[in-house]
Chain A
Amino acid sequence: DAGVTQSPTHLIKTRGQQVTLRCSPISGHKSVSWYQQVLGQGPQFIFQYYEKEERGRGNFPDRFSARQFPNYSSELNVNALLLGDSALYLCASTIWGGNYNEQFFGPGTRLTVL
C-alpha cells in the first residue's frame, strides 16, 4: 500500500510569493494534519482536517490556510511568503476516531524562501 505522498519534493520561492503544497493520505485515512519543521527543531502543528472540516489549528498566522477535498487529499497554502517560512512541511494522515490517533508522516516538502 502507498504511504502518505506529498508534492512537490522541493520548492524555491521568493518573499511575497504564494505557495501551494499537496498531500495524499494513506488509503482509508480520513484525517490529514500539516506540520512545519524548521531546521534543527521538532515539527510544529499547523492544521488538522477531517471530512473536509478544520478540526484543529496551531499558532500560525492567517497567511497559512488549508483545505481537504472529498477524496481526503489536502492542500496547504501560504501567502505573502517570508524568509522564516523556509522549512520542511510535513503532512500526516490518521484514521479518525477513538484512541487510535497514530499519525503517519509523508516525506515532506522542502520550501526555501529567498
Chain B
Amino acid sequence: GDSVTQMEGPVTLSEEAFLTINCTYTATGYPSLFWYVQYPGEGLQLLLKATKADDKGSNKGFEATYRKETTSFHLEKGSVQVSDSAVYFCARATNTGNQFYFGTGTSLTVIP
C-alpha cells in the first residue's frame, strides 16, 4: 500500500557534521513530497517540499531531491547546528491531495 518509510533514529551528531535522513515512499503516480520538522512541545512546521520528479526543495540549509527512479526524498544538510535538534518527518500527499502519509519521524540531536 501507500506508505512512507524513513530512517529510524535517534541520530546524534556533533555540530557542523553532515546530516542525511533517508526517506522512501510507495505510491502510484508522482505525489508531492514534504519534510516537516517538529520542535519539542510544538506542532509540525514545513521545512521543504518538492512537487514533481527531479525537483529540489531547500530551506535553512536543508535540501532534498525528488528521485522518482529510487522513490526517495532524502534530507541533507552540510553543517548542522545545535538549533537543528528536533524530530524530522517525511511525508507524501495523496494524488488528490486530500491527505498526507507521514513517516515515523527521525529524532536528531546535535551536540556542541
Contact = CB atoms under 8 A, between A and B. Distances in A.
Interface of A: 4, 33, 35, 40-45, 48, 50, 55-56, 58, 90, 92, 94, 99, 101-108
A56 B95 CA distance: 12
Interface of B: 4, 32, 34, 36, 42-46, 49, 51, 89, 91, 93-94, 96-105
Contact of B46 (A90, A99, A104): A104
10 contacts: A40-B104, A42-B4, A44-B102, A92-B44, A99-B32, A101-B32, A101-B98, A102-B34, A104-B46, A106-B43
B18 to A, nearest CB: 24
Contact of A56 (B46, B89, B99): B99
Contacts of A92: 44, 100
B98 A55 contact: yes
